[in-house]
Amino acid sequence: MTVLVPPPSTERGHVDHGWLDAHHSFSFARWYEPHHLGIGPLRVLNQDRIEGGTGFGAHGHDNMEIVSIVLSGAIEHEDSSGTHSVIRPGEIQIMSAGIGVVHSEMNHLEDETTELLQIWIRPDENGLPMSYQQVQADPFIGESLPCLVSPEGGERALRIHQDAYLYGGAFTNESQASHMIAAGRVGYLHVAKGTAVVNGETYGPGDGAYIVEGGEVEIEGRSDQGYLLLFDLIGQ
């Protein structure tokens, strides 16, 4: 039986720097909550709103798998490997920081706020070479959950250095899908936009749920323009 332990959106960390309005599902930066430290290798899930003409200047990371999903607007990525790209809605990016990388993420749309999800997952091995991937996924939840990230990768799924699968995408009030999380694994549900019913419980924007035992996760959309993520993770 699937066991969902839902922390409401009101339990998320929140910071407003003017240029950045961010909500943290797990402890991050100066917000520390011992009951929300992540689950399995998933360590960070931030939902950020970045004002036009601003963003995260050059800064470094190492030994982390960093996934970015733009919900609206666009973000421009540059890093010390020479990669320069723009991520737009429908596109998924993963940066394996590996032995170390310096990068920036900027919203150069002067008159438009960019909203995105920033996800950090610990790799299964430290000291890997830095790498970058980006794909046009346009994920939509109809009768199945699109796979966005997996250890194997795929035509529209990015490869991650961890036993971690990320499913999800946009949904409508006609979306109905399910996913089986195997015994011994854990998961996390995050509703970024809209309202969905998951295993009979209603989740709104910013709501999430820890999945602490395996089993079926049944999702029904209740909004015309929703977006959610479901993580299927090795238990640690």
DSSP calls for 172-191: -TT-EEEEEEPTTEEEEEEE
Contacts with 82 (C-beta within 8 Å, 6 or more apart), sequence order: none
Q: Which residues pair with 50 in a beta bridge?
A: 20, 114
Which CATH number characterizes residue 87's domain? 2.60.120.10
Domain containing 134: what range?
3-234
Percent of the chain with pLDDT over 90: 89
pLDDT at residue 175 above 60?
yes
pLDDT digits (tens, 9 = 90+) for 21-72: 999 999 999 999 998 999 999 999 999 999 999 999 999 999 999 999 999 9
- In the sheet that holds 65-72, the strands lie side by side as 13-16, 20-24, 42-50, 114-121, 65-72, 91-96, 131-136
| pTM for this prediction | 0.95
Report the number of distinct structural domains present in the chain.
Answer: 1
pLDDT digits (tens, 9 = 90+) for 88-98: 999 999 999 99
Reported confidence tier of residue 13, pLDDT bands at 50, 70, 90? very high
Count of residues in the chain: 236
Instruction: Please name which of 85, 52, 48 lies closest in space to residue 69, comparing C-alpha atoms.
Output: 48
Reported confidence tier of residue 1, pLDDT bands at 50, 70, 90? very low
